[in-house]
Amino acid sequence: MINFIGTYDCKADSKGRVMLPVALKNQMSPVINDGFVVKRSVFQPCLELYPMAEWNILMQKMNKKNRFKKKNNDFIRRFSAGVKVVEIDATGRLLIPKNLVDVAGITKEVVLSSAINIVEIWDKDNYEKVLEETAEDFASLAEEVMGDDDDDLS
């Protein structure tokens, strides 16, 4: 399992190509040849970039869902809508498919934000707006998510 670290400001060109920062590209080096999957986020107006191994783990979990339940089929269809396999080219560029650029509202300024084992791809304005909206409640959220005394954090 890979863990990414950092938040990076980048630029997207008119074709949706984003040059990866060297620090992030170096972190990706163990998995870069395996390829990646990019998809729309379930909860936020951004995209998610999965290393292929992480994507395969998620797909194994999804494949256990009973497809004879309509809600499962509906979820799988929506979850996988617009999913694309992508690669990082030899110069370190990621080509974001046009339909996904539109979904995430990506213009020129882009933020690549590590989210443990994936990288979120944001339009910079949307990213800053979401950070502002959640800043006030972050202490409560942190306590609720991470404050369980029964969990061993060491």
What is the phi-psi region of residue 82: left when phi exceeds 0, alpha when psi lies from -120 to 50, beta otherwise?
left
pLDDT tops 80 at residue 148 = no
Q: Give me Rg for the CA atoms of the chain.
A: 17
Q: Under 8 Å CB-to-CB from 30, ≥6 apart: which residues? A: 2
Q: Return the pLDDT at 145.
A: 85
Helix 124-135 to helix 138-146 angle (10° resolution) is 80
pLDDT in tens, 29-82: 999 999 999 999 999 999 999 999 999 999 999 999 999 999 999 999 999 988
pLDDT category, 152, cuts 50, 70, 90?
A: low
Q: Which two tokens stand for residue 138?
A: 């972050």
- Coil, strand or helix: which one is 35? coil
Is the distance from CB of 8 to CB of 24 less than 8 angstroms? yes
- Coil, strand or helix: which one is 106? coil
Domains and CATH numbers, the chain: 7-124 (3.40.1550.20)
Q: Return the pLDDT at 140.
A: 83
C-alpha to C-alpha distance for 28 and 77, rounded to whole angstroms: 29
pLDDT category, 133, cuts 50, 70, 90?
A: confident
Q: Which two tokens stand for residue 146?
A: 């991470």
pLDDT tops 60 at residue 137 = yes
E strand spans, the chain? 7-11, 17-19, 36-40, 47-51, 84-86, 93-95, 109-115, 118-123
**120 burial class (0-12, 13-18, 19+ CB within 10 angstroms)?**
buried
